Amino acid sequence: MQIETERLRLRPWQERDVAPFANINADPEVRRYYYPSILTPAETADVIAECDAHLRQHGFAFVALERKTDAALVGGLGLSIAGDEIPGGPHIEIGWILGRPYWRNGYALEAAGACLEHAWRRLGLTEVIGYTSRINDPSRALMEKLGMLSDPAEDFDDATVPVGNPLRPHVLYRARPNG
Ligand SMILES: CC(C)(COP(=O)(O)OP(=O)(O)OC[C@H]1O[C@@H](n2cnc3c(N)ncnc32)[C@H](O)[C@@H]1OP(=O)(O)O)[C@@H](O)C(=O)NCCC(=O)NCCS
C-alpha cells in the first residue's frame, strides 16, 4: 500500500520507523484517548509486526505516514479490519495517530482523505468506519471534516475499557464513496 499526497507518503513500515513510532506511542498527550494509554517500545514493535502481517494478508493496513520533504515519520494512518467488538461488523476501519510536533498542519486530513479515495477507487470498498471515545474531540472533528457521519443510535461502549472510565463510551462514524 503506497499512497502519495502533495506533502505526504503512506507506505509500509520500515525498521527505521520503530524508534520514532515508539516515541509517539510513549507520549501521554498523544495517547490520552487510548486505553491503555502509552505503549512500551516492545509493544510498538508488536503493533508494527501486526500491521505488516495485516498488509501481507489483506493488501491494506495501518501504515507509516512520512513527510516527503525530509522523510520524517509523522505517525501512522491507514485501514484495517475492525475487531469483532465493534457492533454491526464486519467493518473496515480508518485510524490515525500523529506525533505532537506534526499536529494542526492539515496532515491527518490530507492523508486520511487520500486513504479513503484509495479505499473507494483501488480497493473497491463501499464503506469504511471510524470509531473513537465520545470525548475525543480532535478525532471526531477530523471524521466530520472527512464527511463521515455518525448516528447516536450506534454509540457503543468499548468493553475493553472499565465501566466508569470516561474513555468507555464510543461513537461510530461511517464514510461512503461520494459522501
Ligand atoms: C486527531 C489527529 C490525528 C489530528 O491530526 P492533525 O494532523 O493535527 O489534524 P489536521 O491538522 O489534519 O486537522 C484536520 C481537522 O481535524 C480537526 N482537529 C484536528 N485537531 C484538532 C483539535 N486538537 N481540536 C479540535 N479539532 C481538531 C479539525 O476539524 C481540523 O480542521 P481545521 O484545522 O480546519 O480546524 C491528531 O490530533 C492525533 O494524532 N491525535 C492523537 C491520536 C488519536 O487520538 N487518534 C485517534 C484514536 S481513536
Q: What is the tens place of the pLDDT at every residue in 66-98?
A: 999 999 999 999 999 998 889 999 999 999 999
Which atom of ligand 1 is nearest to 109's Cα?
A: 12
Q: Which helix (H) or strand (E) holds 83?
A: none
pLDDT(178) > 90: no
d(CA 82, CA 97): 16
The tens digit of pLDDT for each residue in 35-69 reads: 989 999 999 999 999 999 999 999 999 999 999 99
Mutation choice for ligand 1 from 5, 38, 104, CB with most ligand atoms inside 8 A = 104
Contact 175 CB / ligand 1 (< 6 Å) = no
d(CA 132, CA 143): 10
Alpha-helix residue ranges (DSSP H) falling in the chain? 18-25, 41-58, 107-121, 137-145
Cis before residue 90, ω within 30 degrees of 0? yes
Cis before residue 28, ω within 30 degrees of 0? no
* Residues making up the chain, counted from first to last: 179
Strands (E), the chain: 3-4, 8-11, 62-67, 73-81, 92-98, 128-133, 149-150, 156-157, 169-175
pLDDT at 26: 98
Q: Whole-structure pTM over 0.85, yes or no?
A: yes
Mutation choice for ligand 1 from 38, 65, 96, CB with most ligand atoms inside 8 A = 96
Class of domain 3-128: alpha beta
Residue whose cell numbers read 501512522: 76
Contact 96 CB / ligand 1 (< 6 Å) = yes
Domain ranges of the chain: 3-128
pLDDT at 140: 98
Nearest CA to ligand 1 atom 15: 142
Contact 138 CB / ligand 1 (< 6 Å) = yes
